[in-house]
Structure 1
Amino acid sequence: MMQQDGDSDRINIAIDGPAGAGKSTVARKVAEQLGYIYIDTGAMYRAVTLSALRASIEPQDSRALAALATSLDIELLPGDKGQTVLLNGEDVTDSIRSREVTLIVSLIAANETVREVLGAMQRKLAAKKGVVMDGRDIGSHVLPNAELKVFLTATVEERASRRFKEISGKQDVTLEQLAQEIADRDRLDEQREIAPLICASDALVMDSTAMTIEEVVEAIVKLSRTKLAEAK
Structure 2
Amino acid sequence: MRSLAITMCFLALIACGGKDSTKAPIAAQLAFPQKNSECTTGQDVNGSNTSIVEFSWIASDHTESYDLRATNLNTNTTQTVNSSSTSAKLPIEKGSPYSWLVVSKNSNVRETARSETWLFYNSGSTTTYAPFPAAVVAPKSGSTISKDLNNQVLLDWDGADVDNDLAGYKVYFSTTNPPTTLITTLTSGKSNLQVSVSSDTVYYWRIVSFDLEGNSATNAVSEFKVR
Q: Do they superpose with TM above 0.5?
A: no
The TM tier, using the shorter chain, reads under 0.3
Please state which structure has a larger fraction of its residues in helix.
Answer: 1
| Structure number, greater radius of gyration | 2
TM-score (normalizing by structure 2):
0.24
Higher RCO (CA 8 Å, separation ≥ 6 residues): 1
Name the one with the larger strand percent. Answer: 2
